[in-house]
Amino acid sequence: MSAFIKRGDSYDCSALKQYGLKCSSIAACHSCKRLLAAPPEEGGSRPDYHRNLLNDLFEMMRSLDEVHAETLLKMIRGNTTFEQIQSYMDQALSSMLVHCTDEDTHRNLRNVRHRMEAYSRVPSFRPNIVDVHYLGGIVPYKASAKPWTTVTDDDALVSHLVSLYFTWDYPFYAFVDRDVLSRHILIGNVNSDFCSPFLVNALLANACHYAQYSEAYSLPGDIKVMGTEFLAEAEQYLQTHQFETGSGMRLASLQATLLLYERYSMSGNSDHGYFMLHRAVEMAEALGLINSPRLNINQSNMSSDMISSIKRTAWGLFQIDTVVHANFLRPCRVLEVSVEQIDRDETDEMDLWVAYPINKEARRSWMSQYFDEACRLSTIARDISRIFLPDQDPGFDIYEHKRVLYEKLRQWDQELPKCFSPAERPAAHIILLRLRYHALLINLFFDCFGGNPPFYAPQQQEAQQQFGSTIYDGTLDTALASAREISALVRLHRDQYGLVRAHQYIMYTITLALFTMLEQKSFDVLDYEFLSLTNSFSTVASCSQLGKDIFRIFCQSVRIRCQEEQDLDMETGEMERPPYGPSSVAVTPDRWNDYAEGLRKLADHDGGEEGSSHYTASGIEEMLSMYETMSLGKEGNLQFRQQSSSFRFSPSPE
């Protein structure tokens, strides 16, 4: 990833091997692309739509039961259209995948399903084709395609994607100055300190995750290749910018690297997520923005645009680092930020956030106030992450530290402005901020959970008896209360703005809350909040391959948990005892089977290995370990590879 070797007019990814990484499966380099695109050597031709359909039809006919086979044969004899045949095949596949017990047959049918999804026009949860040019008059941010990217010359499409990014992704971390960047995109100076083709292509690759229109797909219908052309071009610029060091390093390159971190963590591609985050941290250290003596850039000769951009990038990186490491119970790498924060009152209180392109009433953005509160919360998250240091001082009192951190979290929540209240139905990024607060409360007390069926921990009782601290009286209850608040906040986001475009962080908080609910000794699968959150999870998870993989683990874990309690029949999905109380929400067998269709395997991520169908998480800690591996990789493994190689972003004096 850090070094491409030029061969003719293409770039080779072989230099990645020294770091133990592979070429991105999301966007192969030019050399790999040519190998993949090359036709068979012995006179073959690439299969088209109808050949794919015919091959899949034969495969299904061999596997179908008599009823389905007879129905399909009648459709063929009756001159039924290809589209209708494909629709029936899709329905039959759903039923067969749930009830199939033979591993080989299941694997073949799974491959058929994957191919059908790839050559379908669009994913089922996305609308058909909409001309983005009709949106040209309402996009909040205008942008130009040239000279930034060679993927497209359509200014309307680029404006649409940039507006999607600034609406849904940008506010959560806000590590660029939006106004400065959008202005310099229009200026078109590729040598600007504030913008570069590397940065713009990385931004557009991220934005495609939020796009619902087929123009943003390299192959319409295959969600896994969304935005791959922009990502491939951004990756090519990596080899140009990797040697920037010291004063020669461009801020835009650091920002682009953070964008690639986000993109890789969405796709769950090997260790690329941690790789890009580590790279960004080292770049920021080389610039003196973090983990360095204090810089007074306000008294420098820098322009106001540069000062604002530096502050946002440094503190935005701090937020990303604390979110990632607190999420996965690891110590942060960014300990201090070396520049002061932006002014809390920088944003005019009349500035609005528009949920583009949804037809919703605009909300007050409160962006500078939000950014300040997010930085305050990040400081607490950093301190929480330090609890997870492997070699603590012998005199370190973890219980006292947790008590202090709990009080800090509670104080932060109590001091939030009234306009941040859920009752005010605030902008999406403010809802996410409150989700982050409740996720941190669960992270703080995760070690009080059991992690084994029935998911209840005796450690909690031991801690209460040993320390007698009121903070540990009912820690699971505290976590459960936060899980239910997460459910309510996700429902608010869903009702106000939908979930298809929600920032990827929402999937983490949903997963954390659901597994917290599974920790209950008296877990009820018909609990209203649990079902509501599961329904939201199914929507969010369908938007990415990572989400699909995580959702399958969750569903398998739920079934095993219910089997332990003999609440759920594994074959029918029906409850063996009647529902009761306010959580009496009907769950039909078909509904649960739709959730559980992929439970027998992890998707392509597991390579179809024998036994992958039994992957399950017995508790929060195991779930977080799986989530980390599938989204970012393993940080410890990456650190070892970097230390054992000669790679450095800022060469040491030695």
Between 573 and 286, where is the model more confident?
286
Average pLDDT over residues 521-526: 84
**Which of the listed ranges 88-97, 227-236, 567-576 does the model predict with the highest average pLDDT?**
227-236
Q: Is the per-residue pLDDT at 190 higher than 70?
A: yes
Average pLDDT over residues 173-184: 96
* Cβ contact 144:155 at 8 Å: yes
Structure-token match 């932006």, residue found: 342
Distance between CA atoms of residues 1 and 242, nearest Å: 10
Beta-sheet strands, E only, within 322-378: 352-353, 363-364
- Please state whether 227 falls in left (phi above 0), alpha (psi between -120 and 50) or beta: left
Q: Is the per-residue pLDDT at 48 higher than 60?
A: no
Distance between CA atoms of residues 93 and 113, nearest Å: 7
Residue 653, pLDDT score: 30
Confidence of residue 526 (pLDDT cuts 50, 70, 90): confident
**Which of the listed ranges 446-450, 470-474, 583-587 does the model predict with the highest average pLDDT?**
446-450
DSSP letter string, 514-555: HHHHHT-TT--TT-HHHHHHHHHHHHHHTTSHHHHHHHHHHH
Distance between CA atoms of residues 364 and 408, nearest Å: 27
* Cβ contact 569:528 at 8 Å: no
Between 49 and 338, where is the model more confident?
338
* Cβ contact 516:620 at 8 Å: yes
Residue 87, pLDDT score: 66
Residue 530 burial by CB count (10 A; 0-12/13-18/19+): exposed, middle or buried?
buried
Q: Is the per-residue pLDDT at 507 higher than 90?
A: yes
CA of 78: how far to CAs of 71, 85, 402, in Å?
11, 11, 69
Q: 319-337, pLDDT tens digit by residue? A: 999 999 999 999 999 999 9
Structure-token match 């495609």, residue found: 208
Q: 73-108, pLDDT tens digit by residue? A: 877 777 776 666 766 776 677 666 656 666 677 667
Residue 395, pLDDT score: 75
Residue 572, pLDDT score: 40
DSSP letter string, 175-218: -S-HHHHHHHHHHT-TT-SS--HHHHHHHHHHHGGG--SGGGBS
Distance between CA atoms of residues 616 and 598, nearest Å: 12
| Joined tokens for residue 506 | 């929402």
Which residues, including other chains, have CB under 8 Å from residue 9's CB and lie 6 or more apart?
30
Confidence of residue 499 (pLDDT cuts 50, 70, 90): very high
Q: 124-159, pLDDT tens digit by residue? A: 334 434 555 555 557 899 999 999 999 999 898 899
Distance between CA atoms of residues 230 and 152, nearest Å: 9
Distance between CA atoms of residues 282 and 334, nearest Å: 10
Lowest mean pLDDT among 297-311, 412-426, 602-616: 602-616
Q: 279-304, pLDDT tens digit by residue? A: 999 999 999 999 999 998 888 889 99
Residue 19, pLDDT score: 40
Average pLDDT over residues 249-258: 92
| Strand, helix or coil for residue 593 | helix
Q: What is the chain's mean pLDDT, rounded?
A: 75
Q: Is the per-residue pLDDT at 432 higher than 90?
A: yes
Structure-token match 């379908």, residue found: 120
Q: Is the per-residue pLDDT at 268 higher than 70?
A: no
Distance between CA atoms of residues 609 and 615, nearest Å: 11
Distance between CA atoms of residues 197 and 256, nearest Å: 9
Crossing angle of helices 304-327 and 178-187, in 10° steps, is: 120
Residue 571, pLDDT score: 39
Average pLDDT over residues 416-445: 96
Residue 225, pLDDT score: 62
Residue 448, pLDDT score: 65
Determine what percent of the chain is predicted with pLDDT higher than 90. 41
